[in-house]
A and B are shown apart, each in its own frame.
Chain A
Amino acid sequence: MKILIAEDEENISVLYRIALESRQHDVIVTSDGQQCVNVYMKQIGDNQSRNDGSAVPPFDAVILDYRMPVMDGMDAAKQILKMRPKQRIIFASAFVKETLVESIKELDQVVELLQKPFEIDTLVDTVEDKTIYQQLAKLNVDISHLKNWNPTHAQIRDLLDGLLKLRKPGFDFQLAAQNKGPEHRYAHTGQSAS
C-alpha cells in the first residue's frame, strides 16, 4: 500500500514508518499539514503526467495527526478531499470527541479515527483492514482470493456491508436505497481495533 503520513512528533512518525515499512508498505512521512498537502498535490501531478488514472486517489491511506503546526490535520483533510473526495483518511488524535464533531461538521466523508495513544499494531491493523477481513472470513468469504484482487478499503468495507445486509432477514435493498442516510463513521482506540 502507498501511505502518506503527517505527524509533527518525529519519534512517533519514525515508529509509524518502521511498523508500516516492515509490512512492505510504501511510506512518505511529512511533519505538518501543509507539507502533507504539498506532497499530495505533487503526487497527483506525477500521476497525471504518467496518465495514471487521474481521478484515483494517489495514496491508499493518508494518516493525519489532528493537531499540528502550520496546518492542522482537519484543514489538510479538507484540502485533500477537495482534490480527491474518495481519498481514505485516518485521523490519529487524542481528542476523539472534538475530532469526530469537527469531521462531521467539516468533511462530507467517511472518517476513521485512531485514538491516541494506541499500540503500533493497531495502526497497522487499521491500515490493512484487519477487522474487516476477519469479519469477511466469518462470513465464509475467500479472503486470500479476495486479497489477490487488491480491493481498496472502500470496496471491502462496502462488500462487508452488503454481505451483512444480504443475510439480514427481510432486508430490502430498494427501500434502503430510497432512505439512504449519512455514511457511517467509526473510531479505533489504543486498546482494540474494533
Chain B
Amino acid sequence: MDSNNKQLHNFSVLDEVLKVLGSDNLPVLYYHLERLGVKKNEIADKPEEFSHALRQIFGQAASFLEGQIVSSISSKLGLDHDKNTTLAQVLSKLKQGTSVQ
C-alpha cells in the first residue's frame, strides 16, 4: 500500500474535514456509518457506499461534506478536481496512480 492509500485508509484526511462537525460528534457519526454498512477503515474501499450512507444521515448536506472531503484530499495529494468530482472518482484516480503530481 503506497503512502497515499495509507493516508486514506487511516483517514486522517476525513477526520480533518469532519471535525468541523464537532469532535464529540465524530465517534457517533462513525458508529452510525458502521450501522449503515460502512466501517471507518472501509471507506477508502467503499466510497459509493460511504456517500450513500452520508446522504441517509445528512440529506442535502452530504454532497457538500463530500465536496469538502474531495477538495481536501485533492489539494493534499495534488489531484485535479472540480465541484462535480466524487470521492469514488478521486479514490479511483489514486488507485490507478494517475494525476498525482
Contact = CB atoms under 8 A, between A and B. Distances in A.
Interface residues of B, number: 23
A159 B58 CA distance: 5
B61 A166 contact: no
Interface in B25-73: 25, 28-29, 32, 35-36, 53, 56-62, 64-65, 68
Contact of B60 (A141, A145, A158, A177): A158
B20 interface: yes
The A interface, classified by DSSP as helix, strand, loop or mixed, is: helix
A162 B20 contact: no
Contacts of A152: 60, 64
Contacts of B100: none
Contacts of B2: none
Contacts of B19: 142
A159 B36 CA distance: 18
A190 interface: no
A166 B60 contact: no
B10 to A, nearest CB: 22
A166 B29 CA distance: 7
Interface residues of A, number: 27
Interface of B: 19-25, 28-29, 32, 35-36, 53, 56-62, 64-65, 68
23 contacts: A139-B22, A140-B22, A140-B23, A142-B21, A142-B22, A145-B20, A149-B20, A149-B68, A154-B59, A158-B62, A159-B21, A159-B58, A159-B65, A161-B58, A162-B57, A162-B61, A163-B21, A166-B32, A167-B25, A167-B28, A172-B35, A173-B32, A173-B53
